């Protein structure tokens, strides 16, 4: 069985208690025979204990951190001196015969004052460094002063024979008890500074000291019971001091002298244990964290690997995308080239068809033939329009569309657009109004050919989709900033209108609201798509508002600039205006060389030139053309570009190299109408350019331009 230190000490002390009881009993018995002996023995025992505590504290003062013992030892030494004197002058001892019992009582009180106040002071200085020599001297002087005051008769009287204790003595006892009590309380607050055993013994000593003083309050005479009980309590009080300080101090110095070391040692052990625990905990946590980190690193590696794979996949996808894009671009380019070629190939024979029909119309034909001829011309016109639209779309999509800005009259443009569709308007009996706001300037700068194209398209749709009612064409200025304006051209009709669901799609290519196989209205669904694209190319826009069965309004917004000095504007249309032959004037009677491999086109061009009064020489390929030029003196050459043996542009180059002072005007004629063609022909040496199929007024305009 493990025994706590206190329990062990109590057990050891039980035998001592037995000895104490026997001693007390012996002393009580002794007091029956000789009270003085009893008194002397008790005082001597307390003196021995007091002096021993001093000896112990004094000799270990260098190691003591707890100054309580130092102070108590010195105080008890001097109190023991007073107690020794008290014992010596006790009534009946006869050592100082001249003094009565008052002297012993005064010495007793003085010793007790010294004792009780020292307890309070000792608790107060428990943690403070004290100078032992100063204490020694202090207590020495106090004791001497007390003795001096007693023997000089200055100390208050404590006992009067026959009367008993004086009030001073009684109040002093109460004061001493209270001081011990205060000491007890103060000691309790500092109990951590002592081992449990030592603290217990100190408390027991103070309690028995208080009991002794209380007993002495009732002192009657030397042999009285209270006197004996008081002395016995004093004996027990000092015995407790002996057990708590002297015996413990000698048997187990860690309890008293090295208590601090013991406490610190215990704290160290506890700290060490905590350190070990903390260390173990830390190691566990470090291991867990290391594992976590390892998993994280593995995870990161995995993620990095996945990322690398993803990047590689993306790179591959990008490569594929790039290849697909290049393939799509190549396909798109091929498509554009194909469409351009196709339109060229279609335009060439169509030129012949249109031209021949026009020539035929000039001959004497009967009514039935005239009707067939009209249908032929109408169909050829439609086909030509479709080819032109396809070519336009192709050029826009291939970014090959060129704009040519020049001065033009908005009013003339609109009038011509109406004029072109006049026949159909009249057929349907529609009422067309052109409303031009006063704010619209007389002339503006823009690509009038494209403006005309858009307006003709919008107007032709309005005519197409309006059975009865009216069409209004309005021009106004929406915004104006200095010389730039936002021109708004509106075409409104009272026609069939457009279903709301289709409104958002009518500007898409090949889109028609009525896409049933038995469509009532003709068209390819390209007109609006081209119009919007052209408007956007010019920095403008087209929008639509429409209500079913009530009509539609198309708004064409076009940024234009105003010329600083207005000139005579260009005619609105070139090759798209259907000419009236009767209006075409004969230019002159020039010798003209026409180089053209297609017989129909050659015939057509020759006939037109003859109408204009020209003398025409024919050449069917490049070589023949060159030879004809060398032999003749031509005032004008119409040079087809696409010719066998020698290409037209090559012939032009040779002519330009060979001719000296004389410069023959050459007009390039081609069904190619792609961007850069004009520049190419101009670079070869051509003076003008005519796109097939051409009408007579386009021819006259071209001739006028090159002939000045
Ligand atoms: P299309 O040559 O077929 O007329 P567009 O691109 O010019 O092609 O027009 C596309 C479609 O938009 C037409 O087929 C028609 O359904 C509708 N549309 C265009 N203008 C009008 C209008 N003024 N009134 C009613 N519908 C119209």
The residue whose CA has the least distance to atom 16 of ligand 1 is: 513
Q: How far is the CA of 695 from the centre of ligand 1 (A)?
A: 27
Q: How high is the pLDDT of residue 75?
A: 93
Place of tokens 């000691």: 187
List 472's β-bridge partners, or say none: 433, 492
Asked whether 391 and 339 are in contact (CB, 8 A), the reply is yes
Q: How far, CA to CA in Å, does 384 sit from each of 369, 420, 436, 462, 601?
A: 22, 15, 31, 21, 15
Residue with tokens 């013991």: 262
In 171-246, DSSP assigns E strands to none
| Per-residue pLDDT at 260 | 64
Cβ atoms of 703 and 667 closer than 8 Å: yes
Residue nearest to atom 19 of ligand 1 (CA): 461
- Bridge partners (DSSP) of residue 471 are 432, 493
Q: What's the helix, strand, coil split of the chain in %, to 5?
A: 60, 10, 25
Q: Give the Å distances, CA to CA, from 161 to 102, 176, 338, 411.
A: 8, 23, 154, 155
According to DSSP, residue 4 is labeled -
pLDDT at 8: 60
Closest Cα partner for 113 from 167, 40, 171, 53? 171
The number of C-alpha atoms within 13 Å of 144 and in the hemisphere containing its C-beta is 6
For residue 525 and ligand 1, the question of a CB distance below 6 A is answered with yes
DSSP structure class, residue 479: E
**Ligand 1 centroid from CA 123, angstroms:** 115
What six digits make up the tokens of 478? 């929406």
Q: Residue 350: which residues within 8 A CB-CB, separation 6 or more?
A: 380, 383, 384, 387, 693
Average pLDDT for runs of 10 along the chain of length 708? 54 72 84 84 88 83 78 92 91 79 91 94 86 90 95 91 87 94 94 86 93 85 79 87 74 63 79 91 94 95 95 94 91 76 76 80 82 81 78 74 82 86 88 92 86 90 92 93 89 93 81 51 74 92 93 94 63 37 52 90 86 89 93 91 87 90 88 64 86 78 81
- Interatomic CA distance for residues 494 and 552, integer angstroms: 7
Please name every residue paired with 434 in a beta bridge, in sequence order, or none if there are none.
473
The answer to whether the bond into 446 is cis (omega within 30° of 0) is no
Instruction: For ligand 1, say whether the CB of 493 is within 6 Å of any of its atoms.
Output: yes
Residues contacting 391, CB < 8 A, separation 6+: 339, 340, 343, 673
Task: State residue 619's pLDDT score.
Answer: 94
For residue 691, how many C-alpha atoms fall within 13 Å in the half-sphere facing its CB? 17
Three-state secondary-structure class, residue 24: helix
Ligand 1 centroid – CA 526 distance (Å): 9
How many A from CA of 505 to the centre of ligand 1?
10
Residue carrying structure tokens 């408390």? 203
Quote the pLDDT of residue 389.
78
The pTM of this model reads 0.45
- Provide the CB-side half-sphere exposure for 406 (13 A, CA): 13
- Give the per-residue pLDDT at 22: 86
In ligand 1, the atom with minimum distance to the C-alpha of 495 is: 24
- 348, 457, 335, 451: which is closest to 394 by C-alpha? 335
Q: Could you tell which of 465, 502, 522, 549 is best to mutate to test the pocket of ligand 1, judged by most ligand atoms within 8 Å of the CB?
A: 465
Please state, in angstroms and rounded to a whole number, the distance separating the CA atoms of residues 566 and 573: 19
pLDDT of res. 512: 57
With vertex at residue 374, the alpha carbon angle to CA 470 and CA 342, rounded to the nearest 5 degrees, is: 95
HEC string for 63-74:
CCCCHHHHHHHH
Return the pLDDT at 30: 85
Is 664 touching ligand 1 by the criterion CB < 6 Å? Answer: no
Contacts of 386 (CB under 8 A, 6+ apart): 524, 526
Burial class (CB in 10 A: 0-12, 13-18, 19+), 427: exposed
389 lines ligand 1 (CB under 6 A): no
Structure tokens at 593: 């060389």
Contacts of residue 426, Cβ cutoff 8 Å, sequence gap at least 6: none
């Amino acid at each position: 069985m493990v025994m706590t230190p206190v329990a062990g000490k109590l057990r050891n002390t039980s035998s001592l208690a037995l000895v104490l009881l026997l001693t007390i009993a012996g002393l009580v018995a002794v007091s029956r025979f000789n009270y003085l002996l009893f008194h002397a023995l008790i005082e001597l025992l307390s003196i021995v204990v007091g002096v021993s505590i001093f000896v112990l504290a004094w000799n270990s003062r260098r190691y003591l951190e707890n100054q309580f013992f130092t102070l108590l030892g010195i105080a008890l030494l001097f109190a023991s001196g007073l107690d020794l004197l008290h014992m010596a002058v006790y009534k009946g001892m006869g050592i100082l015969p001249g003094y009565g019992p008052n002297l012993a009582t005064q010495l007793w009180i003085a010793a007790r004052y010294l004792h009780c106040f020292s307890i309070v002071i000792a608790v107060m200085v428990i943690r403070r460094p004290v100078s032992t020599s100063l204490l020694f001297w202090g207590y020495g002087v106090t004791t001497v002063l007390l003795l001096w005051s007693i023997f000089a008769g200055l100390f208050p009287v404590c006992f009067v024979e026959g009367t008993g204790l004086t009030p001073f003595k009684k109040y002093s006892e109460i004061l001493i008890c209270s001081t011990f009590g205060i000491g007890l309380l103060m000691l309790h607050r500092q109990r951590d500074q002592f081992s449990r055993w030592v603290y217990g013994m100190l408390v027991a000593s103070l309690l028995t000291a208080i009991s002794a003083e209380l007993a002495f309050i009732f002192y009657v005479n030397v042999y009285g019971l209270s006197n004996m009980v008081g002395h016995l309590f004093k004996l027990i009080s000092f015995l407790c001091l002996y057990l708590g300080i002297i015996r413990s101090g000698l048997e187990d110095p860690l309890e008293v002298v090295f208590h601090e070391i013991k406490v610190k040692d215990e704290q160290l052990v506890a700290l060490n244990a905590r350190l070990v625990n903390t260390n173990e905990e830390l190691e566990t946590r470090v291991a867990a964290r290391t594992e976590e980190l390892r998993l994280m690193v593995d995870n990161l590696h995995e993620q990095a690997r996945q990322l690398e794979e993803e990047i590689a996949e993306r790179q591959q996808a990008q490569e594929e995308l790039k290849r697909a894009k290049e393939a799509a671009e190549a396909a798109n380019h091929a498509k554009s080239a194909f469409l351009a070629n196709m339109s060229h190939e279609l335009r060439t024979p169509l030129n012949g068809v249109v031209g021949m029909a026009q020539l035929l119309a000039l001959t004497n034909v009967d009514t039935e033939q005239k009707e067939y001829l009209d249908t032929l011309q109408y169909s050829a016109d439609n086909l030509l329009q479709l080819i032109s639209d396809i070519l336009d779309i192709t050029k826009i999509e291939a970014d090959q569309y060129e704009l040519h800005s020049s001065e033009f009259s908005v009013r003339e443009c609109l009038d011509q657009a109406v004029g072109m569709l006049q026949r159909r308007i009249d057929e349907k009996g529609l009422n067309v109004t052109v409303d031009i706001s006063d704010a619209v300037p007389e002339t503006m700068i823009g690509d009038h050919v494209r403006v005309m194209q858009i307006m003709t398209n919008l107007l032709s749709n309005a005519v197409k989709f309006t059975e009865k009612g009216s069409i209004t064409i309005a021009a106004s200025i929406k915004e104006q900033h200095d010389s730039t304006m936002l021109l708004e051209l509106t075409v409104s009709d009272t026609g069939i209108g457009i279903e709301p669901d289709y409104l958002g799609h009518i500007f898409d290519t090949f889109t028609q609201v009525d896409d049933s196989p038995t469509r009532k209205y003709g068209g390819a669904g390209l007109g609006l798509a081209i119009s919007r694209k052209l408007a956007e190319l010019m920095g403008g826009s087209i929008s639509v508002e429409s209500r079913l069965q009530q009509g539609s309004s198309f708004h064409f917004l076009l940024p234009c600039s105003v010329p600083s000095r207005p000139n005579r504007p260009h005619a609105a249309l070139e090759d798209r205006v259907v000419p009236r032959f009767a209006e075409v004037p004969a230019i002159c009677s020039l010798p003209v060389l026409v180089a053209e491999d297609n017989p129909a086109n050659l015939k057509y061009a020759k006939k037109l030139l003859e109408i204009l009064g020209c003398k025409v020489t024919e050449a069917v390929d490049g070589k023949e053309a060159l030879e004809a030029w060398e032999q003749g003196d031509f005032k004008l050459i119409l040079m087809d570009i696409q010719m066998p043996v020698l290409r037209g542009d090559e012939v032009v180059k040779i002519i330009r190299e060979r001719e000296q002072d004389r410069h023959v005007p050459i007009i390039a004629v081609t069904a190619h109408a792609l961007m850069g063609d004009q520049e190419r022909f101009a670079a070869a040496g051509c003076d003008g350019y005519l796109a097939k199929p051409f009408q007579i007024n386009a021819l006259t305009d071209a001739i006028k331009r090159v002939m000045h």
